[in-house]
Every structure is written in structure tokens, then in C-alpha cells.
Chains A and B, each alone.
Chain A
Amino acid sequence: RVGPGPGAAPLENANPLIYRRSGERPVTAREEDDELPDAIDDREIFDLIRSINDPEHPLTLEELNVVEQVRVKVNDAESTVSVEFTPTIPHCSMATLIGLSIKVKLLRSLPERFKLDVHITPGTHASEHAVNKQLADKERVAAALENSHLLEVVNQCLSARS
């Protein structure tokens, strides 16, 4: 089981550092042109995950600096995506849930050809190895999403902010 639902226990990190949100990606003339293809790039992947809500704060992963654009790598031609995320504190019990949310968001938003790799930025979490292993295990991810309570929490993180 991954951490408690929002609001149940006192916050682990009540006054975290917050970071500025990057603006909407400006639409370029090239993107408006019907003919030219646009490749999937780092920024596009980052835009997918930056607005995911943190499970315990009314803030996005971007504002908490859990995800950064420099830690997103994509190769459109080889169909691979790699995302590193950084928990706010090394003992954050939400790390698995955050990783799962990122993974689910990408699974839903990327073409099937992509191979996903979501892991914790090396050296930023106490049980980094265990969490990475959980996230890489397809069956465990699938099993986690069978759990309706957990799925609800993940969907809450992924839902657009009101």
C-alpha cells in the first residue's frame, strides 16, 4: 500500500519550497501549419506531467520542483521516454504514489510505441531502489491500478485543477 489519502494525517512537509510555473508553451507558426510534422520533444512530455497535482499539497509537481524539464528525456525516433523525479524530502512516503501518477499519465497520453522509464533522481530518496523497482515492475503497476481506492487517488492527482 502506498501512503495515506490526502487530508488524513498531518502533513509531512507543511511549508515546502515552491517554484515558479512555466507558462503555456507558445504556439508557433510552424505548429499552425497543417503540412509540417512536429516531433515529440522534452517540453511536450514535460507539459504532460508538470500539471499533475501533489497528493498532499494543492500544488503541482512542477511548483514543488518534483519534476523538471531537464530531467525529462525523450527520443521520438527510438520511441523511448525517461523521466526522473525528485521527492521534496528524502523520507517522503508519497514517492511511489507520485511515480505511479506520472507513469499512469504518460501511459494514457503517449502512443503505445513508447517505452516508459520513470524513476527517482539518484540520491534523493531513502528507499530509492525499492521505489524504482516497484515502478519498473509492469505487473505491480497493473495490480496497483486494479485497487479502486488507489486508482481514485491517482485520478485525483491527474485531474485538472478547478
Chain B
Amino acid sequence: FCLENTDPRMRGRGIQLLSQVLLHCYSLLQEKEVLHLVLFYESRLQDHHLVIPSVLQGLRALSMCEVLSPGLAVSVLKAIFQEVHVQSLLQLDRHTVYSIITNFMSTREEELKGLGANFTFGFIQVMDGEKDPRNLLLAFQIVRDLIAKDYALGPFVEELFEVTSCYFPVDFTPPPNDPHGIQREDLILSLRAVLASTPQFAEFLLPLLIEKLDSELQSAKLDSLQTLTACCAIYGQKELQEFLPSLWSSLRREVFQTASEKIETECLAALHALSACLSRSVLSSDSEDLLDSFLSSILQDCRHHLCEPDMKLVWPSAKLLQAAAGASLRTYHRITHSILPLLLEQYTKHTQSSQRRTILEMLLGFLELQQKWGHVEEDESTLLSLQAPVCSVVFSALLDPSVQLQQVGIKALTVLGSLQGFLSSSDVELVVDHLIRLALHEEDSQSSETAMEAAGSLACTYPNIFSGRMVPKLEEELQSEREESYHNHHSLQQRCLQALAAVSTHTSIVRKTVPVLLQHFQKVQKGTEARNTQDMVSVCQSLHHVALQCQQDAEGCWYFHQTVVPCLLAMAVQAAMPESNHTLPGEALLEEEVLAAMIPVISAATTHLSPELAAQSVSHVVPLFLDGEVSFLPQNSFPCSFQPFGDGECLEAQRRLVALLMAFVCSLPRDVAIPQQEWLLRELLALSCSCNCPFTATTAAKCFAGLVNKHPAGQELDEILQLAVNRMESSLAEGPCRSQALTLLLWVRPALDEWGRGTGGPSLALTVLPAQVTKALVLRYHPLSSCLTNKLLGLLGDTELGPAAADGFSLLMAESPDVLHKGCHADVRIMFRQRFFTDNVPKLVQGFHGAGPDVKANYLKGLSHVLNHLPKPVLVTELPTLLPLLLEALSCSDRVVQLSTLSCLHPLLLEAPHIMSLHVDTLVTKFLNLTSSPTMAVRIAALRCAHALTSLPTTVLLPYKGRVIRALAKPLDDKKRLVRKEAVAARGEW
């Protein structure tokens, strides 16, 4: 009844109801019903315009029916194309039309193709004039399908191109608060996919691209270049032929003149794509070789610029040539054939180092391209025919006094070496000699470093030559006792050590270098020179370097572990024997610095072991420490027993070696069982609580923490933790003063400086232990961790231990280098920092408000440590609650707090300017005050923050402009240059 009402509004509503019903139940319809409905709806298309939207809805429902009989899809579309003027409809209804077309295209492809070019034409009319981005995305998709699925375009190619290309280049800014989330980038990519989908568009598209490339608009240029690159993937010679000259001249102009690096990169990418496209096309015998003529024009325009190495256009030209040369093997041969001899000739022609350097850098660029093609081909490579002159040029660069030229020479050498079969073995020997000379005797440290790196990478390719020639030479230099000045000799030895480490990139070389390094270590240890601590540290650094290099290679890693770890342990144990303690030589080995340097060596040698091998090794090392079982060490005849956990005065030295145990045990893979773990943990706990030496106590605590972190959960773990907590509680409850007094009495030597150590040591150990243990637990969310954290929070209120406890927070949040990080296989849960933050910051804030004035700073310090290590996105969301506290922290007199608060605020200023704008008044005042702080670091940080203030909205800043600029005039005259530099940057920006 409604459907036949004379009032179009009523009819509309009737149809709307029917359409809504259909949208819900279209899948249940029978074929006959569908036929009937379709015919009804088609006839309604001629109805009043108010009715049309509902009719289209109904048709959309029907277009999703699977039982639609053949022929109906075509007739629906014909009816729509004929009866409906789509572009006069509302956005939503246009969207419905596109959906109907999309539905039919996905299910009735064959039928629609029967329509031939008429379908395309119909669609062109539907789409013509579309403006809404949501619809455009759909329409572009339809065009892409039309082309990809090979619908007949007939005579309408140009129309189809016109109707889509009119949107190029896309100029669209999504409105603020756009709920649809369509970005400019989506439209660009979608349109590009259409335009670059068929070579049939080429004759229309290329002129358009050239026109846009010649325009002033940066974004239009970028879009054109990227579209051109995309087109080259499907175009062939035929499409490009006509436009090559103008494309080239536009590209050349852009690269020669542009200020934007982005445009330059895109131009080069487009040129690369063009050349690649041309080299792909198969030549028919009668047509001319387009690639050849294209490259000729490039060469003609760029070649002469290469002869003027001082001029601005030399690099753009070289880059253009390299982009073209990188496209295919053919382009590479064509271009290098002309360019390489030219560059070599220019190198000899120009004599200034800076000019030679530019030329050699260009040459290097071309050599690197050769790497891309892998091996040097015997018959046609220009490079091979130029082998001798190239080598002589590179070698001459190595001898040049200019450091920069040397470095380019070394890089070129590395590239040449990596080209299989380019260098003869006598050449390689020459190369090795050059590298030795540069690595050891070159005065400039940068060149020497580059030479070592080059040696490292070449050593992989030519291990035999390097281990046979370079290693013995280095060994000889290392052992020589020349009558030079001490300083020279020392730095030469340093260089040798570094070079030995650098060259150890292949297992066969590692087998040669490690014994040399160990031997040198022993020699230095026995030496009596004053600097031997430093020397030992540098040997350890070299060993660490080697360890890192052979981690990936199972065989090398095991060799290294097996050789180095027992040797280091043996030397340390030897040095820690009570007898040798009184004689000078061994002692240096036990200094904190040296032990600290040995930790990473052992750790790196252990982390990558396979579990079986690690288990084998652990069964030696742990008994060594618990039972004094020394039999696996080389030279294991020691005068007395090794008992690091035993009691007694004279064992202090042995206890220090817990550091080495920590390095080993804490780096083991998690699934390696540690023998007698229970016992070991108890000993470590006792040591960390009772030892007077901060170093030993700290490392024992660290070791304990590392083990606890990996300990499987269960009763055993709970017991040992309970023990630890009790231990800590009892020592803390005694009151720090009393426990210090107690230790002081025990401390026999009454020297004055010992007082200081006596008071500092134990209390420090007391806070370090909980912090370490807590960290171990926080990392894996153990329930006890919150109890321990609360304890730490409580300590903040203590006047004496407060600062140390505050630093404990930094320990909790920071990544520690030697234990408890992922590299050591520690159990680190994701987001532990965020979790810690949400759990504990409210307590810190609360504690701060309740605390007395003398300890407030401790809370602020703890808070700023936590914030410093938190990922910035989390920080920004929590900001409104914390900002008042941070602002208060700025007025705190402790410079550590000031510094960490400033470094906390700096990223916030850049990332969350809107929140910070609310506090601009306070911020400006505080920052400007801090620019006159007595500490340089605070002044610098304050100026950086003042600089970052400029990222706030201009309207917020304007009232402060004059004041800030005046105030910043003062630090311009700061006595420190580094401060002045920041002041200049900040004031310039304001």
C-alpha cells in the first residue's frame, strides 16, 4: 500500500522499510523472489528523487544475493547508468552505488565483461566529478580492478585516465577530528596504483608527470617522481621512447638545482628505475637501442662535471651516473666503460689531496656498485682490465699524508678485496703490509681505526694470508722491547692489541691471536712497570672484542671459552694466593679496574655457549669456588688452597674473585643447571652482608641477584629469599649507625682514612643488596618484590641511608652492563618498568608529601630516577599528575635532582607541548633561574630546556619573548664555551 502511495515521501519510507528488511535477509531469498524484487527496484529507479536512496539500498542488498539469475546484474547496472545521475546524490548514496558495482564485479565478472566497453563508459560517468575521499578510495579500487582484471576499455582509455588523473597530485588535508581516518597518504597510494597500473595510460600520464615535475610545488614533484618510479615497473621501451629526452632533462635539472635531499633521492630512484626498465626490454632487430642513446645523453651531460672536483655539480653528476649504473649489469658496463678510465686519469691529473679525495670517493661509489653484481666477469668487465691502474691509485692514496684521502683509500681497498678474484695473492700481501703500517704507525687515530676495521672485514675473505702475515708481525711488534721513548712504545703496544682483536674475525685467526693475547697478558702481569694496570685493562678489552666477534660462530666461541676462561681464572687465583699477596707483581691483577675489565670478557665468552658445553664448563668453575677444586686450571700447582668463601683475614684477596664467578655464572643460559646452587647462594648472601669491601659486597650481591633471577620458582627459591629478607631486616633494624660502629671495631687498622671507608662500606652494601635482589625479582614479577620495594621506599625517609636508597631506584630501573640483562639470559619481563612505575610512583608521591624537609630531596631524586628510565609515551600520559612534583623538583637545591628533572622535562617539552603550555610561566622562570647555576651541566641542561620551550605554540610564548631574550643574553657571556654554545642555540631560536 505504502509502495503505491502518491506522496513520494510515503513511497520512500515504504521502500526504505523493504530495503532494510532485505539487507538483513538477502541470503535467504529464492531465485524467483530475487528476480521479482530486482524488476521492481529497477522500475523504481525512475521514480521521484526522494525515493532513489532507498531504492539503491535495496539494490545493494540484492547485489549481495548469491542466487541472482544470470543477466540481472547487467540489467541492474544498465538501469543505474541510464536512470540515475549519480553525482547529484548525497555522499552516502554515491557510496551505495560504488558498493553495488564492487559487489557485482567480485561475483559476476564474466557477465559484466559481456557488456564490453559500455560498462567502463557507464562507470566513468558514475565517477566523473566525485569529490569525497571515502568514495574516491572505493572508486580508485574499482578502476584498478577494471584494469587488473582486463575489462574491455575500448575507446575509453583516455576518458578513464582523465577521470582519475584529474586528482593528481592529490591535495587533501584530513579535517581535524576526522572519524574516518583517511590520510592524504592513502589517497596518494591508491591513485598511484591506478595510474601506474597499465602501460595504456603512458602516453597521457608521462606528459602530466613531466608537467608536474616542472612545477614549483615540492609535494607535486615528489608525487610525480614516485609515480614515475612505480610506472617503470610495468612500462617498456615503447611507452617511454617519446618522452625520454624531456624526462632526463627534468630529472637532471632537479638533481642539479634542488635544495631538498628528498627530491634528490627520489630523482635518483626514478632514474634508476628508468634505466632498469630500459635494460629489461628486449630489443627487436630494427629499432634503435634506446638504452644506449639514453645512457649516452646522461654521460654527455654529466661526464665533464666529473673533471672539476672542486665544483658544486661534481657530486650530483656522480650520483646520477651511479644511479643509472646501478640499474643493471648492462648499464653498469656501459657507464663504467666510459667513467672509470676518466676518473683514473683525473686522479693523476689533479694533485691536491682534497681533489683526489673527491675523485677517489666517486670511484669508490662505482666499485661498490660492482659488489652488487658479485663476481667480476672475466670477459667484459672494464674493471678487470683496469686492475693495475685502479690498484696503483688506491695504493697511492694510502701513502698520501692527508688523513681523509687515506680513509677513502682504505674503504676502497675493502671493497676491492671483497670482489672475488680481483686481487691476486701478491696484491693481498701488499694490502696486508699497508694495513699493518696504517694500523700501527699512522699518527692519526681515525685512519688507524679505519685500517683495523678494513683488516677485520678482509680477514674473513683471506684468512690464510692474514693469519700467516699479519698476526706474526703484530706478535713481533708486541714483544719487541725497543729503546724508544716510553710513550711511543706504549701507544704502539696499544695499537697492536687493538689490531689483534680487530683482525680476529675468522676462527682460524682467532686460534692464532688468542694465545698471543694471553701470553702478553701474563707478561704484563709479571711486569713491574707503573702502567701495567692500564695495560692489563687494554688486553682485556681486546679479548672482549675478540669474544664478541666469535660469539656467532659456535666453534670459535667454544675454543675461546675453553682457552681464555681457565687461563684468566688461573692467573687470578695465582695472584690471590696469600703468599704472593705480599709481593708486588700479582697484586695489580686484583685491582677493581682489572677485574671489572675481565668481567665482560668472561661474560661474552659464556653467553653464546650451547647448553651442553656450558654445563661442562660450569661443572669445573663452581667447584673451584666452593671446594677449591683447582685441577682444571692450567699450571695448577698453587702453594695453598683457594677458599673465597672461607673466613680469615688473608682471604680478602680471594674474595674479590667472586667478581669472576659472577661474570661466568650470571651469563649462563637459563636452562643450565648450576651444581650446589643452594650452597652457593647461601655463601654469596653471607658474603654480601658481612664483607667490608664495597666492591666484593656489591659483586656478591649482584651475583646473588643474577642467580635468584634465573632460579626456577618453587619452595627452594622462597626459602632462600626469606633467608635473604631476614638477613637484611636484621642488619637494617640494628640501625645503620650501630652496625657501622660494630664493623668499625672489627676493622683493625686505625688509620684515619679507614674511618671513611668503615662508615661508607657496610651501609652501602646494605642498600645495594636489597636493590639488586629487588631488581632480580621486579624483573620477573615475583610476589616478594613489592615487599622489598616498600622497604626501599621506607629507607628514603632515613637521613643517612636516604640518598643511597634514592640511587637504588636508578639501579632498579637502569640496564646494568654485567648482570641481569637480556644478553645474559636473565628473566626480564616486558614492561617491567611501566609496571614498577604504576605500582610505586603513587607511593613515592605520597611519601614525598608526608616527609620532613630534610629528606624530601631523597623522594624527588628517587622519582626522577624512575622517570628518567621510563619510555616517553608512558610518561606523557602520566604527566598531568606528576608535573607539579617535577616543577617542585626544579627548585630543589640538589643538582642531581635538578639535572635529572631537566633531562626529564626536555623530551616532554618536545613531545607534549600542549600540556606543558599550561605551566609555561613557572617553566620559563625556573629555567632562566637555573641558567645561572654554579654547575656547568645544570646550566647546559637548563638552556637546552629553554631552547625546547620554543616548540610550544607561538601564542603561548609571545608574552615571554622579550624577557627570555634579555635573560638569555647573560649566558652568552658565560665563562664556559659549552654553555655559550647552548645559549646561542636557544637565543637564536627564540
With an 8 A cutoff between CB atoms, is A48 at the interface? yes
With an 8 A cutoff between CB atoms, is B978 at the interface? yes
Please give me the residue from chain B that is nearest to A28 by CB atom: B977
Could you give, for residues 129-159 of chain A, a 1 whenever the CB lies within 8 Å of some chain B CB and a 0 otherwise? 0000000000000000000000000000010
With an 8 A cutoff between CB atoms, is B976 at the interface? yes
Q: Is the CB of A158 within 8 A of B980?
A: no
With an 8 A cutoff between CB atoms, is B555 at the interface? no
Could you give 30 example pairs across A and B, Cβ below 8 Å? A15-B305, A15-B308, A15-B311, A15-B312, A16-B311, A16-B312, A17-B311, A17-B312, A18-B310, A18-B311, A18-B312, A19-B310, A31-B976, A31-B977, A34-B935, A34-B976, A37-B976, A38-B975, A44-B980, A57-B312, A58-B258, A58-B259, A58-B260, A59-B312, A108-B984, A108-B988, A111-B969, A111-B972, A112-B969, A113-B973
Could you give, for residues 961-990 of chain B, a 1 whenever the CB lies within 8 Å of some chain A CB and a 0 otherwise? 000000001001101111011001001100
Q: A14 to B253: give the CA distance in the assembly, Å.
A: 11
Q: Is the CB of B978 within 8 A of A31?
A: yes
With an 8 A cutoff between CB atoms, is A105 at the interface? yes
User: Which residues of chain A are within 8 angstroms of B257 by Cβ–Cβ distance?
Assistant: 11, 14
Question: Looking at the complex, which one of B258, B308, B977 makes contact with A38 (CB distance below 8 Å)?
Answer: B977
A69 to chain B, nearest CB (A): 16
Given A17-B311, A57-B312, A111-B969, 5 extra CB contacts under 8 A: A14-B257, A17-B310, A19-B310, A27-B978, A59-B312
With an 8 A cutoff between CB atoms, is A40 at the interface? yes
Please give me the residue from chain A that is nearest to B976 by CB atom: A38
Q: A7 to B313: give the CA distance in the assembly, Å.
A: 18
User: Which residues of chain A are within 8 angstroms of B424 by Cβ–Cβ distance?
Assistant: none
Please give me the residue from chain A that is nearest to B989 by CB atom: A160
With an 8 A cutoff between CB atoms, is A20 at the interface? yes
With an 8 A cutoff between CB atoms, is B241 at the interface? no
Q: Is the CB of A20 within 8 A of B354?
A: yes
Q: A136 to B305: give the CA distance in the assembly, Å.
A: 40
Question: Looking at the complex, which one of B313, B969, B984 makes contact with A15 (CB distance below 8 Å)?
Answer: B313
Q: A159 to B828: give the CA distance in the assembly, Å.
A: 44
With an 8 A cutoff between CB atoms, is B936 at the interface? yes
With an 8 A cutoff between CB atoms, is A109 at the interface? yes
Q: A32 to B936: give the CA distance in the assembly, Å.
A: 8
Binding site for B on A (CB under 8 A): 7, 11, 14-20, 27, 31-32, 34, 37-38, 40, 44, 47-48, 57-59, 105, 108-113, 158
Q: A70 to B181: give the CA distance in the assembly, Å.
A: 57
Please give me the residue from chain A that is nearest to B936 by CB atom: A34
User: Which residues of chain B are within 8 angstroms of A57 by Cβ–Cβ distance?
Assistant: 259, 312
Binding site for A on B (CB under 8 A): 216, 256-260, 305, 308, 310-313, 354, 935-936, 969, 972-973, 975-978, 980-981, 984, 987-988
User: Which residues of chain A are within 8 angstroms of B975 by Cβ–Cβ distance?
Assistant: 37-38
Taking A20-B354, A38-B977, A58-B259 as contacts, is the C-beta distance between A109 and B984 under 8 angstroms?
A: yes
User: Which residues of chain A are within 8 angstroms of B984 by Cβ–Cβ distance?
Assistant: 48, 108-109
Cβ-closest 6 pairs across A and B: A58-B259, A37-B975, A111-B973, A38-B977, A109-B984, A34-B936
A114 to chain B, nearest CB (A): 9
Q: Is the CB of A158 within 8 A of B977?
A: no
Q: Is the CB of A110 within 8 A of B311?
A: no
Q: Is the CB of A158 within 8 A of B988?
A: yes
User: Which residues of chain A are within 8 angstroms of B976 by Cβ–Cβ distance?
Assistant: 31, 34, 37-38
Main secondary structure of the interface of A (DSSP, over half): loop
User: Which residues of chain A are within 8 angstroms of B969 by Cβ–Cβ distance?
Assistant: 111-112
Q: A18 to B305: give the CA distance in the assembly, Å.
A: 13
User: Which residues of chain A are within 8 angstroms of B260 by Cβ–Cβ distance?
Assistant: 58
Question: Looking at the complex, which one of B308, B312, B972, B981 makes contact with A110 (CB distance below 8 Å)?
Answer: B972
Please give me the residue from chain A that is nearest to B985 by CB atom: A160
Q: A47 to B256: give the CA distance in the assembly, Å.
A: 28
User: Which residues of chain A are within 8 angstroms of B978 by Cβ–Cβ distance?
Assistant: 27, 31-32
Q: A31 to B977: give the CA distance in the assembly, Å.
A: 7
Please give me the residue from chain A that is nearest to B968 by CB atom: A108
Please give me the residue from chain B that is nearest to A13 by CB atom: B312
Q: A58 to B305: give the CA distance in the assembly, Å.
A: 18
User: Which residues of chain B are within 8 angstroms of A31 by Cβ–Cβ distance?
Assistant: 976-978
Q: A7 to B981: give the CA distance in the assembly, Å.
A: 32
Q: Chain B CB within 10 Å — which of A7, A18, A32 has the most?
A: A18
Q: A26 to B342: give the CA distance in the assembly, Å.
A: 38
Q: Chain A CB within 10 Å — which of B312, B980, B984 has the most?
A: B312
Please give me the residue from chain B that is nearest to A79 by CB atom: B973
Q: A7 to B217: give the CA distance in the assembly, Å.
A: 12
User: Which residues of chain A are within 8 angstroms of B258 by Cβ–Cβ distance?
Assistant: 58
Q: A57 to B257: give the CA distance in the assembly, Å.
A: 8
User: Which residues of chain B are within 8 angstroms of A58 by Cβ–Cβ distance?
Assistant: 258-260
Q: A37 to B935: give the CA distance in the assembly, Å.
A: 13
A68 to chain B, nearest CB (A): 15
Q: A109 to B312: give the CA distance in the assembly, Å.
A: 30
User: Which residues of chain B are within 8 angstroms of A40 by Cβ–Cβ distance?
Assistant: 977, 980
User: Which residues of chain B are within 8 angstroms of A109 by Cβ–Cβ distance?
Assistant: 972, 984, 987-988
Please give me the residue from chain B that is nearest to A155 by CB atom: B988
User: Which residues of chain B are within 8 angstroms of A11 by Cβ–Cβ distance?
Assistant: 257
Please give me the residue from chain A that is nearest to B973 by CB atom: A111
Q: A38 to B974: give the CA distance in the assembly, Å.
A: 9
Q: A19 to B977: give the CA distance in the assembly, Å.
A: 26
Q: A112 to B972: give the CA distance in the assembly, Å.
A: 9
B905 to chain A, nearest CB (A): 22
Please give me the residue from chain A that is nearest to B937 by CB atom: A34
Q: Is the CB of A44 within 8 A of B312?
A: no
B49 to chain A, nearest CB (A): 51
Q: A57 to B977: give the CA distance in the assembly, Å.
A: 30
Q: Is the CB of A44 within 8 A of B313?
A: no
Q: Chain A CB within 10 Å — which of B973, B977, B978, B984 has the most?
A: B977
Q: Chain A CB within 10 Å — which of B258, B984, B987 has the most?
A: B984
Please give me the residue from chain B that is nearest to A59 by CB atom: B312
Q: Is the CB of B987 within 8 A of A108?
A: yes
Q: A111 to B555: give the CA distance in the assembly, Å.
A: 64
Please give me the residue from chain A that is nearest to B988 by CB atom: A108
User: Which residues of chain B are within 8 angstroms of A18 by Cβ–Cβ distance?
Assistant: 310-312
A59 to chain B, nearest CB (A): 7
A162 to chain B, nearest CB (A): 8
